[in-house]
Structure 1
Amino acid sequence: GGGDRRREPASPSPARRAAGATMEPAVSLAVCALLFLLWVRVKGLEFVLIHQRWVFVCLFLLPLSLIFDIYYYVRAWVVFKLSSAPRLHGQRVRDIQKQVREWKEQGSKTFMCTGRPGWLTVSLRVGKYKKTHKNIMINLMDILEVDTKKQIVRVEPLVTMGQVTALLTSIGWTLPVLPELDDLTVGGLIMGTGIESSSHKYGLFQHICTAYELVLADGSFVRCTPRCTPSENSDLFYAVPWSCGTLGFLVAAEIRIIPAKKYVRLRFEPVRGLEAICDKFTQESQRQENHFVEGLLYSLDEAVIMTGVMTDEAEPSKLNSIGNYYKPWFFKHVENYLKTNREGLEYIPLRHYYHRHTRSIFWELQDIIPFGNNPVFRYLFGWMVPPKISLLKLTQGETLRKLYEQHHVVQDMLVPMKCLSQAVHTFHSDIHVYPIWLCPFILPSQPGLVHPKGDEAELYVDIGAYGEPRVKHFEARSCMRQLEKFVRSVHGFQMLYADCYMSREEFWEMFDGSLYHRLRERLGCQDAFPEVYDKICKAAR
């Protein structure tokens, strides 16, 4: 009989095996992407963006945010190493002056504003005025110099807090007030405002600034400082903060710096009962030896109060690098002290402390990625978090924006510390959002839009409410107007990045416009820039 002629199948070559192995994940990714696109096609993009936003955020926005970050980090490093920024600064300022003069020559037909896209800002809303006003391009995003003798850093307006901390902490310095989120810019913090848990000592961000450089409505350049000589323009210096770019274009600022230490020794103290919380918080805010004071209110009568001191020494067993991507979100970590009802002491690296709420955008990310604090998610994808606020806004869509407006609150109200208990009750009954952020600050008696009622500095508190209101029948407009009315009644202030429902009269009842209006007239701003109210009111967004 004949032998068996069937041949064994030849085994694939190692090269083909390797190609197959690399193809498999690529194929499965392509299949996933196809299925996702099909799902979007069937359900409609709007449905997916509203009801399953995390899918979109995780698949697209997180990787995109990472690329954004890497680009800016590398660029800042290269610019500083080559020190090209100071050389180019003068040229860039002259370019802005040229644009303003051209606008004048063309008959000053519309108001001016910066050409930075509205979605790039950290405010929740995109200003409509960008579409109708003359956009002046301002490409100023560099740290110009660090003078450790004078203890000053000179920066351009688009420099971010992330950039500043990365550079200053590497050479042993820091800002006395370093607002929380990485993407906040110096210009935004001066023209709007900024606060941090060291503000009970140093005041708001504007109070650590020593000079502003501006291009005015006629294209001229001016430098202003708090000194009361005619050449120093002190009245303009005090009018710029909170003016939202309606007196001129900021082109540089000088800011105080202080020596930094490696760690923050942070004490966590759970407190129960609203009166006890208010007493303890006021007490700690008045103690100058505390470098940092912050409170997180988890319900009407439960809070954790944190006090911190900068130090170079740390007990290794109590070291907690909370900024590492796989670590629990900070507000959840703090809540554990409340749940277990115990005090705590930890040593946190300084830069990690400064950006402790960045990864979870305070507690906003839990609404966008509900499982974001899950250990599995943190270990696998935590290094890509958080998505850029600017990209979240860019992909929001009109339906989601309206939905957010009705079912989501983001507000910072600044009220005198003596009214804290009353204010917390009002927040509780009007919107009922928890956690609530409590941050104390000293408000000096200086001219300008924001100052205390009397002639002396006064201790205030920033009450931050971010999240979904749980009050029955929440209606954004009426509930927020009620809250704004309370804040006006106690001589408080509303941060201007947030939704503002006040009328023009109510707005100027809250803010002191005397110096501001005088300067607008003197500097010819009426035809060049809108009034601040017209940039921040509901109709403008």
Structure 2
Amino acid sequence: MTSGGNQGWLEYMLIHYRWVIVIFFLLPASFFYDIYYYTRSWIIFKLNSAPLHHGKRVKEVQRQVREWNESGKEVPMCTARPGWQTISFREGAYKRTFHKVAINMVDILEINTDKGTVRCEPLVTMGQLTHALIDLGWTIPVLPEMDDLTVGGLVMGTGIETSSHKFGLFQHMCVSFELVVADGSVITCSETSNEDLFYSVPWSYGSLGFLTAVEMKIVPAERFVKVEYKPCHSLENLVKTFEEETSKAEGNQFVEGLMYSLNSGVVMTGNMSTTAEPGKLNAIGRWFKPWFFKHVETYLKNDKRGTEYIPIRDYYHRHTRAIFWEIQDIIPFGNNVVFRYLLGWMVPPKVSLLKLTQGKAVKELYEKNHFIQDMLLPVADLKDALLLFEKEVKIYPIWLCPFKLPQNPGMLQPVHGKETMYVDVGTYGVPKVENFEPVETTRRVEEFVREKKGFQMMYADSYMTREEYRQMFDHSLYDKMRLKYCCEKAFPEVYDKVNRQARI
């Protein structure tokens, strides 16, 4: 068989039998990597050796940046982390030509319960944090669901959780950032020191400097989350229930919605609890349990409200095993009870490994037949947004997550210039409408979001022009920081890293 024939055979397998590769290669690789990664993290944390190494790692980043300065600054800098290792669907094309700076910073540096903070390096994951903090009786206020999301990615991009209606986005619980800037110096910024830079870092995608440490608030954690499921059978009822549960002054530490059609969905509320009622404990994180979104759907089908107690770590990572619901397109029989009991302990495969094995044919297939977007809109516009998504893509489930947006300096400015409640409308999957066109459809959705003074999460495909992007995001402070810290030659603008043409 020729090399071209081999390539064609491989692409055919990747498209039609990708689950074979996932089950027999990616799942075992992911499983053993997790064992290594969490064992190493636990040992380093217990030995308290990370702070000793952090200073050396920062100096190594400084050395590389100064070397770039001395070499003539011919091309901008970026991290040396391969694009396939990130959790977003695309890879930055700039990784091929930019000057790469190695940043291998993967450790928790300090947990200070007296001060109420945790300090960690940028490649620390959410799974790593929950393992370390929950054992000590603590958590971070906003803990995004996916295990492999990193602190640095959530700071430089964004992060959200069902507690965000209380605490805001991931950036709003951060206390300080440590960065190596374009001249090789180290700057620590906070609300009281270098505050303009502090407010400019979130959503900047590494275009102001290299993040080397983040300090975040921590709050007490209890053993369980008491989750109440409220099925809704009309769009009006769901929107009303979602807004009412979000706006309650007391209670409801967590609020979330899953829509299974335009007129049906489940609103979930949660509150931490030290104990669980007999017969109502559900350890949803166990390998043999149904995928969480399928479990939630049973309340809708039975048209019955319910209450259960979920171990807190299981709750935080409830969408990890099924990658929300994207895994059903990769392993179609993955929720079958036989598969769960036999191989569920290895699920999920690493998103980074899935990207590494995509190939050109799979990428093209996804681009033409897949829609992955999180749009952030004022909660008052939720009904109109859901009607738009029904018309444009008709993908279900849809994830709904409320968050408050304070009126702080930076890229995100709330509608009407004052603190406003927003909602993340997350849509991931294969569109069910005829004649889906990824570019035209996404641009229509982006236009709607701009008109409503909302925002698009920039991990996904964006087809906005530079002018449209600047209309959506306030660049006034960001531009000042780019000028102050001599970023023009050192780093591209954020738009040049996140628009569709900059990604492969």
Same topology, TM > 0.5? yes
Partner of 1:318: 280
Q: In structure 2, which of residues 65, 82, 85 is the aligned counterpart of residue 117 of structure 1?
A: 82
Partner of 1:34: none
Q: In structure 2, which of residues 483, 493, 504 is the aligned counterpart of residue 531 of structure 1?
A: 493
Q: In structure 2, which of residues 70, 81, 104 is the aligned counterpart of residue 139 of structure 1?
A: 104
Q: Which runs of 4+ in 1 moved over 2 A?
A: 40-43
- In structure 2, distance between residues paired with 1:125 and 1:514: 28
Q: In structure 2, which of residues 230, 240, 245 is the aligned counterpart of residue 269 of structure 1?
A: 230
CA contact 2:378–2:415 (8 Å) conserved in 1 = no
Structure 2 CA distance for partners of 1:426 and 1:221, relative to 1, 3 Å: same
Letter in 2 for 1:185: T
Q: Which runs of 5+ in 2 are unaligned?
A: none
- In structure 2, distance between residues paired with 1:167 and 1:506: 42
Letter in 1 for 2:473: F
Q: In structure 1, which of residues 226, 233, 251 is the aligned counterpart of residue 212 of structure 2?
A: 251
CA contact 1:303–1:338 (8 Å) conserved in 2 = yes
Q: In structure 2, which of residues 340, 352, 359 is the aligned counterpart of residue 378 of structure 1?
A: 340
Partner of 1:29: none
Letter in 2 for 1:145: E
1:188-228 Cα offsets, whole Å, 9 max, x none, are: 0000000000000000000000100000000010000012x
Structure 2 CA distance for partners of 1:110 and 1:274, relative to 1, 3 Å: same
CA contact 1:445–1:454 (8 Å) conserved in 2 = no
CA contact 1:190–1:205 (8 Å) conserved in 2 = yes
Q: CA RMSD in A?
A: 1.0
Query: Is structure 2 residue 17 aligned with structure 1 residue 52?
Result: yes
CA contact 1:160–1:182 (8 Å) conserved in 2 = yes
Partner of 1:410: 372
1:280 shift after superposition: 0.9
1:245-265 Cα offsets, whole Å, 9 max, x none, are: 000000001000000000000
1:454 shift after superposition: 2.4
Q: In structure 1, which of residues 337, 344, 357 is the aligned counterpart of residue 299 of structure 2?
A: 337
Query: Is structure 2 residue 200 aligned with structure 1 residue 235?
Result: no
> Which structure: larger Rg?
1
Structure 2 CA distance for partners of 1:340 and 1:136, relative to 1, 3 Å: same
Query: Is structure 2 residue 245 aligned with structure 1 residue 280?
Result: no
Query: Is structure 2 residue 101 aligned with structure 1 residue 101?
Result: no
CA contact 2:169–2:405 (8 Å) conserved in 1 = yes
Partner of 2:156: 191
Q: Which runs of 5+ in 1 are unaligned?
A: 1-39
CA contact 2:79–2:103 (8 Å) conserved in 1 = yes
1:42 shift after superposition: 10
Query: Is structure 2 residue 407 aligned with structure 1 residue 442?
Result: no
1:148-206 Cα offsets, whole Å, 9 max, x none, are: 01100000000000000000000000011000000000000000000000000000000
- In structure 2, distance between residues paired with 1:448 and 1:287: 28
1:399 shift after superposition: 1.3
Letter in 1 for 2:125: T
Query: Is structure 2 residue 447 aligned with structure 1 residue 485?
Result: yes
Partner of 2:171: 206
Q: In structure 1, which of residues 71, 75, 88 is the aligned counterpart of residue 40 of structure 2?
A: 75
CA contact 2:256–2:400 (8 Å) conserved in 1 = yes
TM-score when normalising by structure 2: 0.98
1:43 shift after superposition: 7.0
Question: What is the aligned residue count?
Answer: 498
1:41 shift after superposition: 5.8
Partner of 1:33: none
1:275-318 Cα offsets, whole Å, 9 max, x none, are: 11111101111114110000000000101000000010111200
Structure 2 CA distance for partners of 1:131 and 1:42, relative to 1, 3 Å: closer
- In structure 1, distance between residues paired with 2:49 and 2:222: 29
1:431 shift after superposition: 1.1
1:106 shift after superposition: 0.3
Partner of 1:158: 123
1:472-531 Cα offsets, whole Å, 9 max, x none, are: 100100000000000000000000100001111110010001100111011100000000
- In structure 2, distance between residues paired with 1:451 and 1:271: 32
Partner of 1:171: 136
- In structure 2, distance between residues paired with 1:62 and 1:169: 26
SS at match of 2:416: coil
- In structure 2, distance between residues paired with 1:267 and 1:454: 33
- In structure 2, distance between residues paired with 1:43 and 1:517: 47
